[in-house]
Amino acid sequence: MAKKYEKDAKKYWDIFYKKHQDRFFKDRHYLDKEWGQYFCVEERKVVLEIGCGAGNTVFPLIATYPNVFIHACDFSPRAVNLVKTHKDFNESRVAAFVCDLTADDVSNHISPSSIDVVMMIFVLSAVSPEKMSLVLQNVKKVLKPTGHVLFRDYATGDLAQERFDCKDQKISENFYVRGDGTRAFYFSNEFLTSMFKANGFDVKELNVCCKQVENRSRELIMNRRWVQAVFSVSEFATPEVKLTAGFSGQVETEPSSKENCSEVPVNDFELDFSEGVAIDMFGIPPSQDNEIVEVDVRGWNFKIKVLSREFQHTCKSTGLMLWESARLMASVLAENPTICAGKRVLELGCGCGGICSMVAVGSANLVVATDGDSSALNLLSQNVNSNLDPHFLTKLITERLEWGNSIHIETIREISEEGFDVIIGTDVTYVAEAILPLFSTAKELISSSKDSESALIFCHVLRRVDEPTIVSTAHQFGFRLADSWTAGVSSKSSQSIVSSWFADRDWDIPSTALNIMYFLLDN
């Protein structure tokens, strides 16, 4: 996977700029406020912007500083063309050219040691970590001995990185691929400092900036984190390094006695995302940003409407896409209809797809598909109505259920007063804080009848929560782990319940990281 995205990096960014043009980022008017001292002089300043994109840095700079000349490069030809066709483009102020600083020699376009300021704003994060040094060596060739590198990019712990960690889009440590094929690296102080120093730079300033972005209409709070830094060529560097942070007045990095540390007022920072794009990325995009995924589940054919892949990596809701665990569990239910035959089935956290519930309804007496997210439920309702025959629709109910919410639990209990014989959850165990309310809700809704065994079945990739933690929490609520299965691992017991589900047929398991845990209620 990593080789593919490395090879096609230019193609993916070209497609990005074809779609978004110059609408994705805000013009960076904060440059004057943050770094004005590096431009505001009487003599002519020569600037190089790496990864110029559509010119959101270029044009605010030339409008503010009449003595600035900018070399603007990007490895996307479409991006460079957007700069050249901008209404404010002027060849006497801007030279725009295509250049891949991981492969091309920038000194073929710019004279060595001629640049006063290099701008690197949300660009190095798009480069493979093993090639970042090539970029810095290129920069050093053209930077004056007294020049500076002004840097802003994603920091570890950013909201988007948290979303990546939940969705198996990791290429390597702190490096991820987005749904649209573009990539993003998240910098720690230690990694960034070490890399620049190894390539002949000293750190003048290094700020870890944090800001909560609120979308009141969608009731979203988004924690954004980025690094802002200034570097200089080592021979002329100031030895003092300032490590600061600006979230709720809390300093993230403990400074040593030789470092000066000052807080960064976060309200003075601006985010680069335009308001419309921020809503699309972190809220729930409009329906035209959905796509149809065709799913073949052992003879069941579904067309499922989900959130478009390019928005999935930063969307608030994890329920607006199809997970591999749901595909596997749906196949298990289709191949083994006796699991649900004649029973009352509850699916927890089914998301917008609901394919497990739609397969289960083929043999069950009643299926209730639930999720706590209203947007996921809206799509779920559409998918159920468009995929199931009318006679199945009478047996499948969709309801909102936030785990631990007593009102929601009571509503579900009214649907099936005797509880549910089978409760299913796919990838519902990845957040540690959700484990207690998850099992609490399952205990409230599972059937306690002594006439039959009631089962709680989880299919998942173990991420942030390990199996012992899940088993321990289950035990607190009266569940015991009766069986478990891991993809690619043979069962030690010939009597394994779950392994029997996979017998007598070849299976194409979508991921070797998938697990199934089969719990029974201790009566």
Residues 6+ apart with CB under 8 A from 355: 295, 297, 300, 302, 304, 322, 326, 327, 330
| Residue 49 near residue 58, CB atoms below 8 Å | yes
Cα–Cα distance between 178 and 309 in angstroms, integer?
8
Q: Under DSSP, is residue 491 helix (H, G, I), strand (E, B) or coil?
A: coil
Residue 226: CA count within 13 A, CB half-sphere: 22
Q: What is the pLDDT of residue 220?
A: 54
Name beta bridge partners: 486.
Answer: 515
Beta bridge partners of 207: 228, 244
pLDDT in tens, 397-420: 999 999 999 999 999 999 999 999
d(CA 242, CA 228): 11
Euclidean distance between CA atoms 162 and 48, whole angstroms = 32
Secondary structure element (H or E) that encloses residue 459, with its range: strand 455-461
* Residue 197: closest CA among 148, 143, 136: 136
Q: Residue 280's beta-bridge partner residues?
A: none
Residue 2 carries which DSSP code? H
pTM, full prediction: 0.53
Q: For domain 2-282, give its CATH number from 2.60.40.10, 3.30.465.10, 3.40.50.10490, 3.40.50.150.
A: 3.40.50.150
Amino acid type, 26: K
Model confidence over 192-204: pLDDT tens digits?
999 999 999 999 9
SS3 212: strand
Q: 336 in helix, strand or coil?
A: coil
Please tell me the class of the 287-521 domain.
Answer: alpha beta
Sheet holding 183-185, edge to edge: 170-172, 175-177, 183-185
Rg (CA), the chain: 27
Q: What is the DSSP letter of 448?
A: -
- Give the per-residue pLDDT at 242: 45
Cβ contacts of 414 within 8 Å, gap of 6 or more: none
Residue 292 is which amino acid?
A: I
Q: Could you give the angle at which helices 435-445 and 406-415 cross, rounded to 10 degrees?
A: 30
Contact 112, 134 (CB under 8 A): no
Angle, CA of 100, 101 and 102, to the nearest 5°: 90
CB 25 within 8 A of CB 54: yes
Q: Pull the structure tokens for residue 122.
A: 């949300």
The pairing of beta strand 183-185 with beta strand 201-215: unpaired
Residue 402: what pLDDT? 94
> For residue 151, which of 35, 33, 23, 245 has the smallest C-alpha distance?
35
- Longest CA pairwise span in the chain (Å): 89
> pLDDT 10s digit of each residue in the chain, 523 long?
677 778 778 787 878 777 777 666 778 878 888 898 998 777 789 999 999 999 999 999 999 999 999 999 999 999 999 999 999 999 999 999 999 999 999 999 999 999 999 999 999 999 999 999 999 999 999 999 999 999 999 999 887 787 776 666 888 889 988 877 888 999 999 999 999 999 999 999 998 887 766 555 545 556 778 899 999 998 744 444 444 433 332 323 333 333 333 334 344 445 565 443 444 344 334 444 678 889 998 889 999 988 776 555 545 566 788 888 999 999 999 999 999 999 999 999 999 999 999 999 999 999 999 999 888 898 999 999 999 998 899 999 999 999 999 999 999 999 999 999 999 999 999 888 899 999 999 999 999 887 788 999 999 988 778 899 999 999 999 999 999 999 877 555 546 899 999 987 778 787 778 999 999 998 6
> What is the DSSP code string of 394-406?
TTEEEEE--TT-H
Q: Where in the chain is the domain with CATH 3.40.50.150?
A: 2-282, 287-521
C-alpha–C-alpha distance, residues 399 and 27, integer Å: 43
Collapsed DSSP state (helix, strand, coil) of residue 146: strand
Q: Is 419 left (phi over 0), alpha (psi -120 to 50) or beta?
A: left
Sequence-separated (6 or more) residues with CB below 8 Å from residue 192:
151, 206, 227, 229
Pairing between β-strand 455-461 and β-strand 422-426 as defined by DSSP bridges:
parallel
Classify residue 407 as exposed, middle or buried by CB count within 10 Å of its CB (0-12, 13-18, 19+): exposed
- Residues 6+ positions from 3 with CB-CB distance below 8 Å: none
Please state, in angstroms and rounded to a whole number, the distance separating the CA atoms of residues 341 and 450.
18
